[in-house]
A and B are shown apart, each in its own frame.
Chain A
Amino acid sequence: MEEIFNLFHGFAVVLQPYNLLVMLFGIVLGVMIGVLPGLGGANGVAILLPLTFSMSPTSAIIMLSCIYWGSLFGGAITSVLFNIPGEPWSVATTFDGHPMAQNGRAGEALTAAFTSSFVGALFAVIVITFVAPLVALFALQFGPAEKFAIFFLAFCSFIGMGKEPPFKTITSMMIGFALAAVGLDSVTGQLRLTFGFTELLNGFDFLIAVIGLFGIGEILLTVEEGLSLKGRAAGINLKVVLQTWTELPRYWITSLRSCLIGCWMGISPAGATPASFMSYGIAKRASRRGDNFGKGEIEGVIAPETAAHAAGTSALLPMLSLGVPGSPTAAVLLGGLLIWGLQPGPLLFVEQKEFVWGLIASMYLGNLVGLAVVLTCVPLFAAILRIPFSIIAPIILVFCAIGAYGVHNSTFDVIVMLVFGVVGYVMKKCNYPLAPLVLAIVLGDRAEEAFRQSLLGSQGSIAVFWSNGLVGGIMALGLIALSWPLIQEGSARLRTRLPRRLL
């Protein structure tokens, strides 16, 4: 019950006029970011982070998280109307969303997408409200070894669960760790890996990396593929919305299943993109009309959208309660916390109640406001996509540059951003995942610190990571996640062999 009381307190914070204004501004910006090619949740939030330096941390996190919700909503618009996923997690939405639009049912598809997004997010926020404080309470007892084990688990699940080749994931992740190590060593205060360049004293900021890898890299990819925008008219009005809403409750099983898949995938750092694909695949198999999937089935829109939003939202749970972000965007928000002078981790729930509960309350309200905004303003946002590429691309580049400059007021950072952009383009083309690299840059220093502190405590013995049930259990989970592809392959082989033997 304490959670309910805290939540009401949070609502009191959010309902201040200034915070409401910031919320609306964030949502609108977020939808625009979600619609624009090359801008997504992670780099959109990173670019706009400097805007919040003069705000209070609570208003700042409300604005940034609302940008995130907005971008989650925005991805659906481009998927349905233009067949261009604005975000990787909206790819699955194009499968049925765009055929629906082609059949003149764009309004229905959009309403279903937005409403499912809202349902998914709401489910995840409720989970966060009640589970996050418990996890935080539990995590307060963690020593350095347990902390490192949690990081270990997070990174192992990236390697084991990702759809990219595992060794490419390892390479990209380790490069992230190496980049994080550059500069001042946080334990001894010694300089390392700078090779005498004074520009590298402060190391590589992950915000610069995010803006470059995702923003610039994505624009280069878009340019290469050549943009041909053939959009469908939005055609959404109150009648269509209400009519679709009366239909949606029929698919409650799909919704609930997608919510659960989304939350699970969001909390374990698999992320929104695999969640949306998995949810779509299972819905297709489970549905009676599964054969119609891909031809414009409304259930095929509900499933991925619900899961993607549930995953995107629940990615904040480990970020808030453990200080381990579940997605690149959650990582950027975590970076924001550090910049505003807050220490991410379980102590947040004890020391920064107003901040945490303000954020959670803003998730409820922000998603509601977001739903209203996208339902009423779809044609407006769709119009953004009709701006020719030769106008919108340089404007996006300019905003990337401003964002990169704003992090440390350094023009050198802008050049670093462009280098990251080219690296991101090549890596993406060669199927190296970018998210682990970013997460490793964010968490590198803290993972290393936890590692070294645990070794200090044990006088250099690795056995400290198996010294008690808790830390050993987490490490074991990590190892299972790491070898997941092998386990899957093994069980698949067993399954195909057994029946044959029986014959």
Chain B
Amino acid sequence: MSNVSQRRDGGPRQRAMEIGVSLFTALFGAVVLVGSLQVGIGWGAEGPRPGFFPFYIGLLIIASSTVNLVQVGLADRRSGFAEWSQLRQVLLVLVPTAIYVVSIRYVGMYLSSAALIAVFMSWLGKYHWSLTAAISIGTSIAIYLMFEKWFLVPLPKGPLEELLQL
């Protein structure tokens, strides 16, 4: 999103991050403009065309992003967005979660959820494997009973559930 570079006291600048965010929102506004122009922003047979409303929304996004960008100039140059060590913690949570949300489609909700809890407990919490296994598998079973049996909400299933014929 922004060009973060490591400096003396570690971590990206708040300023760099804010500039990045306002550029990103301006870009988003531009995408909305393009999309609106594609479907027509004028006045059609049935009144305003579909792009009429989003077009002005897009203009407003670009305008307010520009103001935000200018106001960043008034911000403190030295304050940091976050320490590198903090961002590493965030990534430690984010990366397993990203793998988790993608894997749900392929191995089902129950197996991937148990795996996510197990990874967190053994990686970040350094728990003994027996407790890890008990809590991760226990949670999946509890979720199965609560959603599938009690509230009748089916969750995605993978090869394992097919094997168990659930």
Q: Report which A residues bind B (CB closer than 8 A).
A: 50-51, 53-54, 165, 167-168, 170-171, 174-175, 177-178, 181, 185, 187-188, 190-193, 195, 216, 219-220, 223-226, 388-391, 393-395, 397-398, 401-402, 405-406, 409, 411, 414-415, 417-418, 422, 425-427, 429-430, 432, 448, 451-452, 455-456, 460
Contacts and interface: CB of A to CB of B under 8 A. Distances in A.
A414 B153 CA distance: 16
Interface string B125-141: 10100000001000100
Given A178-B58, A402-B155, A430-B21, A394 B105 contact: no
Contacts of B113: 398, 401-402
A171 B65 contact: yes
B120 A394 contact: yes
13 contacts: A54-B151, A167-B71, A171-B68, A185-B39, A192-B35, A193-B39, A397-B116, A401-B113, A411-B105, A414-B101, A417-B101, A422-B94, A451-B53
Contacts of A393: 93, 120
A178 B54 contact: yes
Contacts of B139: 395, 398
B54 to A, nearest CB: 4
Contacts of A219: 93
A384 to B, nearest CB: 14
Contacts of A185: 39, 50
A395 B116 CA distance: 9
Interface residues of B, number: 71
A243 to B, nearest CB: 40
A405 B123 CA distance: 26
Contacts of A411: 104-105, 156
B21 A432 contact: yes
Nearest to B119: A394
A44 to B, nearest CB: 15
B124 interface: yes
Given A168-B68, A223-B90, A394-B120, A187 B156 contact: no
| Top 7 closest pairs, chain A to chain B, by CB | A390-B125, A193-B35, A185-B50, A394-B120, A411-B105, A170-B64, A390-B124
B125 A391 contact: yes
B104 A405 contact: yes
* Residue of B50, B90, B125 contacting most chain A CB atoms (<10 Å): B50
B100 A397 contact: yes
Given A188-B46, A391-B120, A405-B104, A426 B90 contact: no
A467 B14 CA distance: 47
Given A178-B54, A226-B86, A390-B124, 8 more contacts: A50-B153, A193-B35, A195-B35, A391-B135, A401-B100, A401-B101, A402-B147, A426-B21
B89 A226 contact: yes
A178 B57 contact: yes
Given A177-B57, A402-B147, A415-B101, A452 B117 contact: no
B151 to A, nearest CB: 5
Contacts of B71: 165, 167
Given A192-B35, A220-B93, A448 B155 contact: no
Contacts of B14: 430
B138 to A, nearest CB: 11
